């Protein structure tokens, strides 16, 4: 597969960001909580070309802390490509020579789409905690407006991992007529109690930071300490015992032997600290609170009277992939979705990839996952 050679040479090169704005004075969106909300900015990127039949569009749905920048580079100088650069590009599983790929930042995010850090037009100040509590369904409804705006009536595929997988499921249940296929990676129809618990710790860390100030910190100092701790906890849940063992073991960061003082730092500590610090520069603490809450609330079957009823609405093909070492979105949860689909006689395929990387596998096992996805997409594109 061509994705094995240099990522820069094979990447999309420089990609553009776009913003689509809708809502008042036009039609606002009605949120799941019943409130009308808008205007809304949607930051998005597209890669590849829409074909004449408009039948090759693939919507990529990012995870918790992702953004619209899925692939390519923003500037010639930038060192970091988009978050799924190994999966999206010419000759890659989401092959931009064949497909028109769209990725947008979710509602409630902080990377260009309206979220708690955006200006409230009524007060002229950032929303903060006055931002409405949004759901996965609300994110999907916003994406639907974007897809309509782009003139696409039917998506060849909706695809995402983790929170992105929740959106993919929601898309295929909420708008079955618009979804020819969905690709659900390391995801679930509803988070476990354990998953909610870790999110709660993250939110608590942020809210108990003295700089949090009930979410009105934008003109002041960020609750960086709290957000950094939230990210550290998050990172633990994205890895696995095995991957941490392989990556860090019990090695010390700077010393060769224990000094029996608190300057001793194990490598894993240093890694978490680095991840926490890095995260604070690119993510808004309020968005962390809102998006984690949206994941906690998510329950695909709830509004349809159960998972079986929700599954029966789906008309497209579905590919579900889970990872053996993922304890945050464990395989048994993915299988619940698959069995509900099988009971409803839906066209669903499931694989459980044996991988040591925990929940992060869907970002790391790009080769094996990529082969499955490109085959799946190819079969859908050939038949739809």
Q: Which residues bind other proteins (CB under 8 A)?
A: 317, 319, 335, 338-339, 342-343, 345, 347-354, 368, 371-372, 375-376, 378-380, 382-383
The residue (of 108 and 356) whose beta carbon lies closer to other proteins is 356
Phi and psi dihedrals of 300, rounded to 5?
Answer: -55, -40
For residue 303, the SS3 value is: helix
Token couple for 13: 């090169």
Q: From CA 335, how far away is CA 16, in angstroms rounded?
A: 38
The residue (of 238 and 376) whose beta carbon lies closer to other proteins is 376
Active-site annotation holds for 359: yes
Q: From CA 301, how far away is CA 106, in angstroms rounded?
A: 21
Token couple for 39: 């205007």
| 100-104 and 40-47 beta bridge pairing | antiparallel
Counting every residue, how long is the chain?
Answer: 384
| 157-161 and 125-126 beta bridge pairing | unpaired
Give residue 37's Cα distance to chain centre: 22
Active-site annotation holds for 326: yes
Phi and psi dihedrals of 267, rounded to 5?
Answer: -60, -35
For residue 340, the SS3 value is: helix
The residue (of 139 and 380) whose beta carbon lies closer to other proteins is 380
151 touches 54 (CB < 8 A): yes
Least Å from the CB of residue 268 to other proteins: 30
| Catalytic residue of the set 359, 360, 361, 374 | 359
Least Å from the CB of residue 383 to other proteins: 6
The residue (of 54 and 335) whose beta carbon lies closer to other proteins is 335
| Catalytic residue of the set 67, 86, 326, 360 | 326
Least Å from the CB of residue 187 to other proteins: 16
If we measure between CA atoms, which residue out of 162, 183, 185, 158 comes closest to residue 171? 158
If we measure between CA atoms, which residue out of 5, 92, 68 comes closest to residue 378? 92
Give residue 220's Cα distance to chain centre: 29
| Catalytic residue of the set 3, 11, 118, 162 | 162
The residue (of 134 and 334) whose beta carbon lies closer to other proteins is 334
Coarse DSSP helix, strand, coil percentages of the chain, rounded to the nearest 5 percent: 40, 15, 45
Active-site annotation holds for 162: yes
Q: From CA 131, how far away is CA 106, in angstroms rounded?
A: 14
Neighbouring CB atoms inside 10 A of 47's CB total 24
The residue (of 287 and 361) whose beta carbon lies closer to other proteins is 361
The residue (of 268 and 348) whose beta carbon lies closer to other proteins is 348
Q: From CA 339, how far away is CA 203, in angstroms rounded?
A: 33
Catalytic residues: 162, 326, 359
């Amino acid at each position: 597969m061509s994705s094995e050679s240099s990522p820069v040479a094979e990447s999309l090169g420089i990609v553009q960001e776009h913003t689509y704005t809708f809502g008042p004075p036009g039609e606002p969106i009605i949120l799941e909580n019943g409130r009308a909300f808008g205007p809304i900015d949607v930051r998005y990127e597209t890669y590849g070309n829409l074909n004449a039949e408009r039948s090759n569009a693939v919507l990529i749905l990012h995870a918790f802390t992702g953004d619209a920048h899925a692939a390519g580079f923003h500037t010639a100088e930038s060192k970091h490509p988009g978050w799924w650069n190994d999966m999206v590009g010419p000759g890659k599983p989401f092959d931009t020579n064949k497909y028109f790929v769209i990725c947008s930042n979710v509602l409630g995010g902080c990377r260009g789409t309206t979220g708690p850090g955006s200006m409230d037009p009524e007060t002229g100040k950032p929303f903060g905690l006055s931002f409405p509590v949004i759901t996965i369904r609300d994110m999907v409804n916003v994406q639907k407006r974007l897809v309509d705006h782009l003139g696409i009536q039917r998506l060849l595929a909706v695809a995402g991992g983790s929170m992105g997988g929740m959106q993919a499921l929601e898309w295929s249940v909420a708008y079955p007529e618009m979804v020819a296929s969905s690709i659900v990676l390391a995801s679930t129809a509803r988070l476990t109690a354990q998953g909610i618990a870790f999110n709660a710790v993250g939110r608590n860390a942020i809210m108990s930071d003295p700089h949090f100030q009930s979410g009105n910190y934008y003109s002041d100092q960020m609750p960086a300490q709290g957000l950094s701790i939230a990210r550290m906890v998050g990172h633990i849940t994205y890895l696995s015992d095995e991957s941490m063992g392989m990556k860090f073991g019990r090695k010390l960061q700077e010393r060769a032997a224990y000094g029996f003082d608190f300057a001793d730092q194990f490598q894993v500590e240093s890694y978490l600290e680095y991840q926490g610090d890095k995260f604070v520069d690119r993510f808004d603490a309020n968005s962390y609170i809102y998006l984690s809450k949206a994941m906690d609330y998510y329950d695909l079957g709830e509004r349809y009277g159960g998972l079986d009823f929700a599954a029966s609405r789906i008309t497209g093909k579905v590919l579900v992939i889970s990872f053996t070492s993922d304890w945050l979105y464990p395989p048994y949860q993915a299988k619940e979705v698959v069995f509900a689909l099988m009971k409803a006689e839906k066209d669903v395929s499931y694989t459980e990839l044996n991988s040591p990387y925990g929940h992060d596998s869907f970002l790391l096992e790009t080769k094996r996952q990529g082969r499955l996805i490109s085959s799946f997409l190819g079969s859908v594109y050939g038949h739809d």
